[in-house]
Structure 1
Amino acid sequence: MLHLILEKLQRKHQLSVLKKNHNTTLGSIKIGINNHFILSEKLERVAIGTAVSFRNYIHIVVEKNAKLTIGDGVFMNNFCSVNCLDSISIGENTLFGENVKLYDHNHLYTAVPEFKVSNSDFSTAPIKIGKNCWLGSNVTVLKGVSIGDNCIIGAGCTIFKDIPSNTKVINQQQLILNSVS
């Protein structure tokens, strides 16, 4: 009984994180347990549509000057992560399997005179995911990628280049979708 009360309080707290930022617009959303939203006070915009569902353990970060748009009817399954330093757009009726990760940035690094990775400086490029897409479990989408409408991205794929509309990606091979069956 106590765990149900704590879960309800945690949901209310996370909804308040979304609602209190003046650059955030929310439609009707449903959130599960142990979700975590980190929103910079100086983000450019967060827009979440209607009938959006976040299952459990979703992690969303939107940093200063960044934009996140989530269309109507989007579903994120357990353990998904959205890390937005630039711009991420997710089209309506898109489904995420468990553990999908979106990163619109990379750590900056130098190779000369010695190899060094910065822990606080990043290169960024927008991510755009079209409408009616399905990203299977353990998909990772990297910065600068556009995924067209009506795409299926198979489980475990790392998407590092653009995917045209009506395409199925399985083990990094692109197949044109004639019909979804």
Structure 2
Amino acid sequence: MILLKFLWHINAFIKIIFYKMIFGKKIKWGKHVTFRENFSLVVDGGKVVIGNNVFFNNNCSIVSHKSIIIGENCIFGEGVKIYDHNHKFAKYNVEKKYQGFSSSEIKIGKNCWLANNVIILKGAEIGDNSVIGAGCVIKNKIPANVIVSLSGDYNIQKIRYR
């Protein structure tokens, strides 16, 4: 397992250098950021800021047209997707791909855990120390220190720290 972790860190280090070459100042990496297989990052006119000690599990992706800010010490489960934009589609006589995008900043606080297959959409803001349960789609503001789970309806409960 130690060898596997070492390989993930080396792979992440190489990809971070590659991303820095491609996106330059549009992305800011904290220290000790790592990710596993199939991490994808696209900065298309926007910017991305990732804090220190952030971990992305397999198959995570980030696409920014405006701004995505991730606080330090966050962990992301497998398949987490983060998009700060959406296609416009109001004109029925114009193909959707030609109608452009609407964008809004995303902020994810410090020490958050986003479980497997969470989707974060434009305008979302997740407060510090919050947990977003598997399969949730977040497009609004989530307060600090809460757990959001999907059980038919959203269930938000306060975290009781010891």
Q: 1:53 aligns with which of 34, 47, 54?
A: 34
User: CA 1:61–1:78 in 2, change beyond 3 Å: closer, same or farther?
Assistant: same
* Corresponding residue of 2:127: 148
Whole-Å separation in 1 of the counterparts to 2:125 and 2:13: 33
Q: Quote how far apart the aligned CAs of 1:23 are.
A: 3.2
Whole-Å separation in 2 of the counterparts to 1:115 and 1:179: 52
State the percentage of identical aligned residues. 41
Q: Deviations over 1:129-174 (max 9, x none)?
A: 0000000000001100100000000001011211000010011211
Q: TM-score, normalised by structure 2?
A: 0.84
* Aligned partners of 2:12 and 2:35 also within 8 Å: no
- Aligned runs of 1:1-181 on 2, under 5 Å? 14-21=15-22, 23-24=24-25, 45-64=26-45, 66-110=46-90, 117-119=96-98, 121-171=100-150, 172-179=154-161
Counterpart of 2:63 in structure 1: which amino acid? N
Counterpart of 2:111 in structure 1: which amino acid? N
* Aligned partners of 2:124 and 2:139 also within 8 Å: yes
Whole-Å separation in 1 of the counterparts to 2:78 and 2:55: 10
Greater fraction of residues in strand: 1
Whole-Å separation in 2 of the counterparts to 1:23 and 1:74: 20
User: CA 1:169–1:15 in 2, change beyond 3 Å: closer, same or farther?
Assistant: closer
Greater fraction of residues in helix: 2
Counterpart of 1:100 in structure 2: which amino acid? V
Q: Which runs of 4+ in 1 moved over 6 A?
A: 10-13
* Aligned partners of 2:20 and 2:27 also within 8 Å: no
Q: Quote how far apart the aligned CAs of 1:22 are.
A: 7.2
Unaligned runs of 5+ in 1: 1-6, 25-44
Unaligned runs of 5+ in 2: 1-7
* Corresponding residue of 2:5: none
Q: Quote how far apart the aligned CAs of 1:15 are.
A: 4.2
